[in-house]
Chain A
Amino acid sequence: MSFFNWAWDWVTTDANWHGSGSIPQQLLAHLGYSILPLLIAALIGVPAGVAIGHRGGKRAVVVINVANAWRAIPTLGLLILLAVFLGFSALTWLVPLVVLAIPPILVNSYEGVVAVDPSVKDAAAGMGMTPWQQVTRVEIPNAIPLILVGLRTSAIFVVATATIAAYIGLGGLGRFIIDGLASDQYGPVAGGALLVVLLAVLVLALFAGLSRLVVPAGLRKQAKTE
């Protein structure tokens, strides 16, 4: 039996859709574990990345290197550490996922702003825009494609990694995986994994749609002709 057989059998079993710990329930929990960290990371990472990109200079390169090194932090380890000290508080799962989500958002927001044509930035300053106006009216709109890439990457990471929250006893799609592994039942393991993949692909599709809405028209068309 292949992975898909196992997963399909399990997902199509009606029983799994009802009762406590059912698929819809865990799906909802999983979304909760995913959306909140992403929002927080975005609220921190986008302004920080944009500000550092706007300032520029040698310090910026240092900060970006730190953000890249940040990826070294193992989410599982951090999660477990917080579980030992904080038990079942919200911070236990929030902090590791926010830590995970920040680097792609921060780095891509920075890259997005830095990649704006220097002559465009010079013109914006030379025409009399205050730094705030330069950032909000010129740099951010032009950086949106890359900012979105960062948000999308983080969203996928977070959706994927929220599964391990189950390891310390929380819900989410990881519940099926962890419980299945513990009881040697490959069905829920495969099924849970498949659902996570589908969720991640859904995120991809959502972002594709979002980009169509949010990216300024002039840039969108320009990217097509490149």
Chain B
Amino acid sequence: MITFEAVTKRYPDGTVAVDELDLEVPAGKTMVLVGPSGCGKTTSLRMINRLVEPTEGTILLDGTDIKARNPALLRRGIGYVIQQTGLFPHRTVEDNIATVPVLTGWPRKKARGRARELLALVGLDPALARRYPYQLSGGQQQRVGVARALAADPPVLLMDEPFSAVDPLVRASLQDQLLSLQAELQKTIVLVTHDIEEAIKVGDLVALFRPHGKLAQVAPPERLLAAPADDYVAGFVGFDRGIRRLSFVSTAGLDLDSGAVLPAEATVTQALDAGRPWICVTEAGHPRGWVDTAALATLPGGTPLGQVAAEPIGHPFTVGRDSLRAALDAAVLSPAGQAVAVDEAGGVLGVAAFDQLRSAIQHGAIQHGAIQREAAQAPDGPRGQETREVQHAQEGPVP
């Protein structure tokens, strides 16, 4: 657990980078520091491992004042990942990763063995171990940077815009990797980013900074979207936060219509009998296309649906795993105005029309309102402790 107590950083020329920061990072959780340029988030991060010393205030790590500890030794117990990776160009990938273990006295062979383990952990081919950093792509270098930070198995991990320098596809993949690593390792992570989407995706808690080093709000991502503390936060979070908030609502209890689903072998007559404006045609259980029943009237009744021209599915959503936001998006993309629901294996379970989605959204809105009322009574302070919970268990069948 990391605690900031009235921490201020003032530079000799008068600029205040961090202004009386009170913040608590719970152990084993990911706290994301987010805000505009110059808001003090990076400075705050770098004060945790004493690369920057506070002008006033105290920072406690598991109850001990970090000032009391030798800086070098302190840092060996804290993983550090930066945007430009800072990989040592004169050392191989495995020697880079082995740096802190070797510093703490491990024999080199043992450290290199650990390095190879970590390469696998971050999803890299162990054959890269003997390569040099310049031979790796940007995404690979970032992963090596993360592996290096984890090598000595530190309880705390500091990450300063670790994914900002790579392209969006690689970034998404790295974020997913971080989430799965965290599920396995449960480190205390403090991550700095200027990207609010990244903060929402990756964080258990989000600390939003104002310009010039003051905190605006600390809350779990869903609460940030549902109940922003003021206009500044609402503006930073973005205008479509209502829809984005739906990504925290599960589709587990969604009411589905299976009558609109027919296999490719079914005939036109069966389709017309179903009485639906659109039919979802499946092949071996998987969605293949949408057929407009109005266009079927002219066709001979015995024609298999597989031979009828179909509109593309767009994308289906997986019930339970995907959020209501994904389902809504699927419906918007679909020519039928309905979303195709599939199970984990990809087999079609049914379709959800706007009506069903609307009910689910309203149900979510009720909880949204509940969160807002709760927030109004107890505004988020620095100790916003709630961890991220999926509303899964609370959703019953939608009326």
Contact = CB atoms under 8 A, between A and B. Distances in A.
Task: Let me know if chains A and B touch directly in the complex, using CB atoms closer than 8 Å.
Answer: yes
Interface of A: 117, 119-130, 133, 138, 141-142, 216-219, 221-222, 225
A127 B75 contact: yes
A216 B103 contact: no
B90 A141 contact: yes
A119 B133 CA distance: 14
Given A127-B80, A127-B100, A219 B72 contact: no
B88 A222 contact: no
A126 B82 contact: yes
A133 B103 CA distance: 9
Nearest to A141: B90
A216 B90 contact: yes
A217 B131 CA distance: 10
Nearest to B71: A128
A120 B87 contact: yes
Given A130-B72, A218-B133, A218-B134, A142 B90 contact: yes
B132 to A, nearest CB: 4
A128 B86 contact: no
B321 interface: no
Given A119-B82, A222-B134, A225-B134, A125 B90 contact: no
Interface string B10-38: 00000000000000000000000000000
A222 B85 contact: no
A119 B88 contact: no
B89 interface: yes
Contacts of B84: 117, 119
Contact of B82 (A123, A142, A221): A123
Contacts of A133: 72, 103
Given A119-B84, A122-B82, A217-B132, A129 B103 contact: yes
Interface string B58-84: 000000000000011111111010111
B100 A128 contact: yes
Main secondary structure of the interface of B (DSSP, over half): mixed
A218 B90 contact: yes
A119 B78 CA distance: 17
B91 interface: yes
A217 B130 CA distance: 11
Contact of B88 (A120, A126, A217, A221): A120
Contacts of B149: 127
Contacts of A216: 90-91
A121 B85 CA distance: 11
List the 7 shortest-distance A-B pairs measured between CB atoms, nearest first.
A123-B86, A128-B76, A128-B75, A126-B80, A216-B90, A119-B84, A218-B132
A15 to B, nearest CB: 52
Given A128-B75, A218-B132, A123 B51 contact: no
A141 B90 CA distance: 7
19 contacts: A117-B86, A119-B86, A121-B86, A122-B51, A122-B86, A123-B85, A124-B88, A125-B75, A126-B75, A126-B80, A127-B76, A127-B80, A127-B103, A130-B72, A217-B90, A217-B132, A218-B90, A218-B133, A219-B90
B92 interface: yes
Contacts of A219: 89-90
B92 A126 contact: no
Interface centre among B51, B86, B103 (most CB of A within 10 A): B86
Contacts of A120: 86-89
Nearest to A133: B103
B165 to A, nearest CB: 10
Contacts of A130: 72
B114 to A, nearest CB: 15
**Residue picked from A121, A130, A133, most chain B C-beta under 10 Å:** A130
Given A119-B83, A138-B90, 10 more contacts: A120-B86, A122-B82, A122-B86, A123-B82, A126-B86, A133-B103, A142-B90, A217-B90, A217-B132, A221-B132
Contacts of B267: none
B49 interface: yes
A128 B66 CA distance: 14
B99 interface: yes
B99 A117 contact: no
B223 to A, nearest CB: 32
Interface string B107-145: 000000000000000000000000011100000000000
Given A125-B51, A126-B80, A217-B132, A142 B89 contact: yes
A124 B99 CA distance: 9
A123 B80 contact: yes
A128 B92 contact: no
A126 B132 CA distance: 21
A128 B83 CA distance: 18
